């Protein structure tokens, strides 16, 4: 049984964990360092007091700038900020100075907590300090007057289709449906591997998991699948959180040939559509595992849709989770017929995440639903099938084409290591054509790819333009940056 939303704010989640299980390990950093709930709580209190000593007041916005495996200081700084009543703005250490300063200005950030190895970007006029420099040394618990509608976080979208957008997240959104009863029962939870980059929306989500899931999170580099395999074998990892890009690299690295991965029972992905060929190969490599996907637009969380991968229905994302509602809407906002493509809308009873500014925020304020700007359809069983992002779907010869369907077919082709499909203007016309940007094991393999697509796809789904590259441009989460590819194709 969960407590109603107004009962808790984010600092309460850590307090309850520390009170009930102070010695339980929250995170294990690459097998080298650990942090317990008790240590996290004490250090976060000391940092919160240090922030208050600096004059931080409720509602101030403080940036987090961390990279590498500096998870412990990141976790301490994050809970210290929200415990002091401020709002944490998450940013990763590899961000450009221009993008950093755009976000700082947009969010009205007054201070910055950074990792030891992360430099303060040029042009920042506020104060900057490490966790050690802020730590007051006084870990006495403190209670700042916080409400569920106060902002805990400002997160940024991945920016795959354009500039990343800021999403404001209230405390009540993060604590929705979570009450103290579940914090008293721990048992012997099995560890979970989370190769997640710091300073992203996913690292903020990882902290939420750490606060509410009793399993120890084993955190590791995101660019070393062989190290991931070592940790799976060493700690007998049962569940692995991964992005599609990590899954693709696991398959390419053949990690099952050098490590025993039989302990894995769940492979969980949520950040983007997973190529069906990759999902099938991962299950072959880890025969005791199932692949689960969670569909959840960042701005709609905690409303989610989840399912277990079924090779016969590779784009089915399932049914809404408990407390979540789904609508597939037409342009008029009314439900479309079964099997008809419409925009995916989600809602739940939690306080809403809202874009910080822009037309998207205005739309969010007009109704209780959150528009995801993704397209999908419902089958006769009431399950949702993902079609594409509305911004990526392409109309070719009067037919709406899903770029993710064509990408899935490309990943089935021998020799295709990476693939991205997008719509580009057809030269000399006002029409669009489908373009594929590929990384091939052998540059001479393109004719075989073309032949396979001609056999598997309808003519309007087949790219008419191909470009071979050494690597696809990717964001910090490994998502392909299609806006860069569009510019690249326009210039070529």
Residue 420 lies in a domain: yes
pLDDT at 2: 35
pLDDT at 186: 45
Residue 31 lies in a domain: yes
**pLDDT > 70: percent of the chain:** 95
Domain boundary among 378, 408, 426: 378
Residue 425 lies in a domain: yes
Same domain, 60 and 204: yes
Partners of residue 98 on adjacent β-strands: none
pLDDT in tens, 262-276: 999 999 998 778 999
pLDDT at 298: 78
Dihedral sign, Cα of residue 490, residue 452, residue 274, residue 351: positive
Domain residues for 218?
A: 5-378
Q: Categorize the per-residue pLDDT at 439 as very low, low, confident or very high, splitting at 50, 70 and 90.
A: very high
SS3 state at 355 = strand
pLDDT at 178: 73
Residue 19 lies in a domain: yes
Instruction: Check: CB of residue 167 under 8 Å from CB of residue 157.
Output: yes
Residue 3 has pLDDT above 50, yes or no: no
- Give the C-alpha separation, 210 to 351, whole Å: 21
| Domain count across the chain | 2
pLDDT in tens, 140-184: 999 899 999 999 999 998 877 778 889 999 999 999 877 655 454
Instruction: Check: CB of residue 131 under 8 Å from CB of residue 73.
Output: yes
- Give the C-alpha separation, 163 to 99, whole Å: 9
Residue 190 lies in a domain: yes
Which token pair is 141?
A: 């618990």
DSSP per-residue letters across 149-178: TSEEEEEE---SSSS--EEEEEHHHHHTT-
Residue 389 lies in a domain: no
484: CATH: 3.30.300.30
Same domain, 402 and 346: no
- Give the C-alpha separation, 204 to 171, whole Å: 13
pLDDT averaged over every residue in the chain: 91
Residue 50 DSSP one-character state:
H
Same domain, 367 and 402: no
Q: Categorize the per-residue pLDDT at 187 as very low, low, confident or very high, splitting at 50, 70 and 90.
A: low
> Whose CA is closest to 150, among 197, 101, 84?
84
Same domain, 348 and 416: no
Which residue did the predictor score with more confidence, 428 or 396?
Answer: 396
Same domain, 308 and 454: no
Give the angle 32-38-41 at the CA atoms, nearest 5°.
105
Domain boundary among 354, 378, 402: 378
What is the bridge-based pairing of β-strands 217-219 and 25-29?
Answer: parallel
- Give the C-alpha separation, 192 to 383, whole Å: 28
pLDDT in tens, 13-27: 999 999 999 999 999
Residue 384 lies in a domain: no
Give the angle 9-370-310 at the CA atoms, nearest 5°.
95
Q: 26-65 in b/e burial notation, b at 16+ Cβ within 10 A?
A: bbbbbeeeebbbbbbbbbbbbbbbbbbebebeeebbbbbb
Same domain, 314 and 427: no
Q: Categorize the per-residue pLDDT at 364 as very low, low, confident or very high, splitting at 50, 70 and 90.
A: low
pLDDT in tens, 330-362: 999 999 999 999 999 999 988 888 888 766 676
Same domain, 358 and 323: yes
- Give the C-alpha separation, 186 to 476, whole Å: 33
Same domain, 432 and 295: no
pLDDT in tens, 111-149: 999 999 999 988 898 999 999 999 999 999 998 999 999
Same domain, 264 and 117: yes
Same domain, 109 and 236: yes
Which residue did the predictor score with more confidence, 6 or 123?
Answer: 123
Instruction: Check: CB of residue 379 under 8 Å from CB of residue 338.
Output: yes
Instruction: Check: CB of residue 66 under 8 Å from CB of residue 198.
Output: yes
Give the angle 110-114-117 at the CA atoms, nearest 5°.
150
Q: Categorize the per-residue pLDDT at 1 as very low, low, confident or very high, splitting at 50, 70 and 90.
A: very low
Residue 409 lies in a domain: yes
Q: At what angle do helices 276-285 and 244-253 cross, to 10 degrees?
A: 50
Same domain, 346 and 398: no
Same domain, 323 and 428: no
229: CATH: 3.40.50.12780
- Give the C-alpha separation, 199 to 69, whole Å: 11
């Amino acid at each position: 049984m969960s407590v109603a939303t107004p009962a808790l704010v984010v600092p309460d989640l850590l307090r309850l964990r520390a009170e009930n299980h102070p010695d339980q390990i929250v995170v294990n950093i690459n097998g080298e360092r650990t942090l317990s709930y008790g240590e996290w709580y004490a250090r976060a209190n000391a940092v919160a007091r240090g922030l208050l000593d600096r004059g931080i007041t409720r509602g101030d916005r403080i940036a987090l700038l961390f990279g590498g495996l500096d998870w412990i200081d990141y976790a301490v700084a994050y809970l210290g900020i929200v415990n002091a009543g401020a709002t944490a703005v998450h940013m990763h250490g590899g961000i450009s100075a221009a993008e950093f300063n755009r976000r700082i200005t947009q969010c009205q950030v007054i201070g910055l907590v950074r990792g030891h190895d992360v430099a303060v970007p040029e042009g920042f006029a506020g104060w900057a300090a490490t966790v050690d420099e802020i730590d007051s040394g006084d870990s006495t618990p403190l209670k700042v007057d916080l409400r569920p509608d106060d902002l805990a976080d400002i997160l940024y979208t991945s920016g795959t289709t354009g500039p990343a957008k800021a999403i404001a997240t209230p405390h009540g959104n993060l604590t929705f449906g979570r009450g103290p009863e579940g914090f008293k029962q721990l048992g012997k939870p099995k560890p979970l591997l989370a190769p997640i980059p710091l300073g992203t929306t996913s690292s903020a989500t990882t902290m939420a998991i750490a606060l509410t899931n009793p399993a120890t999170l084993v955190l590791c580099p995101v660019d070393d699948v062989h190290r991931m395999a070592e940790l799976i074998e060493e700690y007998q990892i049962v569940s692995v959180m991964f992005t599609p890009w990590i899954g693709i690299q696991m398959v390419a690295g053949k990690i099952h040939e050098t490590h025993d991965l039989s302990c894995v029972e769940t492979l969980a992905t949520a950040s983007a559509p997973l190529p069906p060929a990759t999902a099938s190969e991962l299950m072959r490599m880890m025969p005791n595992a199932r692949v689960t996907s969670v569909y959840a637009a960042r701005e709609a969380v905690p409303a989610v849709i989840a399912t277990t991968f079924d090779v016969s229905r590779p784009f089915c994302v399932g049914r809404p989770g408990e407390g979540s509602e789904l609508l597939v809407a037409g342009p008029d906002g009314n439900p479309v017929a079964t099997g008809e493509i419409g925009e995916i809308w989600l809602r739940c009873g939690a306080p809403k995440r809202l874009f910080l500014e822009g037309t998207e925020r205005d739309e969010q304020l007009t109704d209780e639903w959150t528009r995801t700007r993704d397209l999908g359809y419902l089958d006769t069983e009431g399950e949702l099938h993902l079609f594409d992002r509305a911004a990526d779907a392409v109309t070719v010869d009067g037919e709406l084409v899903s770029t993710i369907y064509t990408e899935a077919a490309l990943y089935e082709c021998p020799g295709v290591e990476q693939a991205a499909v997008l719509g580009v203007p057809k030269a000399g016309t006002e029409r669009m054509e489908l373009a594929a940007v590929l990384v091939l094991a052998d540059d001479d393999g393109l004719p075989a790819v073309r032949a396979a697509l001609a056999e598997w796809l309808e003519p309007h789904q087949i790219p008419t333009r191909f470009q071979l590259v050494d690597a696809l441009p990717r964001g910090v989460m490994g998502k392909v940056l299609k806006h860069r590819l569009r510019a690249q194709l326009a210039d070529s």
